[in-house]
Amino acid sequence: MTFSWTPHRFSGGALALDVANSVVLRFDAERRIDRYADVVALDTFAAAATRFSADNELFGPLEPVAPQNRAAFLNLREATDRHFRAEVLGHPSSAHLADLLDAASTVIRRHPIKPTRLPLDAATARSALMLATFSEPQRLKICPNCQWLFLDRSRNRSRTWCDMTVCGNRVKASRHYQRQKKELTP
């Protein structure tokens, strides 16, 4: 199956959240898909993030994660998901925060302070640290359809889905189908 990174895959609103969302159906063991299990997808994510991520102007063009840094990057992805998911669900944990800080520091130690092009793992660590100190944590949400993490940047904090054109439409279409089905049932 051919896979490509589309703007929808970057609906998290922050690079760290987009990276965390690279696991599709995270809590469904039978249907779970880790997009980074395919090395080509992992390598092409940096270019796609440069193009589509909300943080693209902040970090500039990104380099792929070096093969020797991939395990630390995946650890950072999981720590990011655990920490921010717990925060959104109202279960903040010092242990999750410590894991996130440890994973981010492991990644950051591997890179120079001012490289010409920032590697994806270093940019993700910086993005996660910025989110951890974000002044409006109530803007972090979980999509009720796909369970992705996203940053609600709407003026009135009313965004419900990670991406209205995908998840929002799916939920609305499902509701419409259920209403039609009820009306047709004798």
pLDDT tens digits, 154-170: 888 888 888 877 686 65
How many Cβ atoms are within 10 Å of 63's Cβ, its own excluded? 18
Confidence at residue 170, expressed as pLDDT on a 0 to 100 scale: 58
pLDDT > 90 fraction of the chain, expressed in percent and rounded: 69
CB 96 within 8 A of CB 79: yes
**pLDDT beyond 80 at 174:** no
CATH assignment of 7-184, among 3.40.50, 1.10.3300, 2.60.120, 2.60.40: 1.10.3300
Q: Give the chain's end-to-end CA distance (angstroms, integer).
A: 42
Please write the tens of the pLDDT for every residue from 33-77. Answer: 999 999 999 999 999 999 999 998 999 999 999 999 999 999 999
Our CA angle for 64, 65, 69, nearest 5°, is: 165
pLDDT at 22 over 70: yes
Q: What is the percent of the chain where pLDDT is above 70?
A: 88
The 10s digit of each residue's pLDDT in 116-141 is: 789 999 999 999 999 999 889 899 99
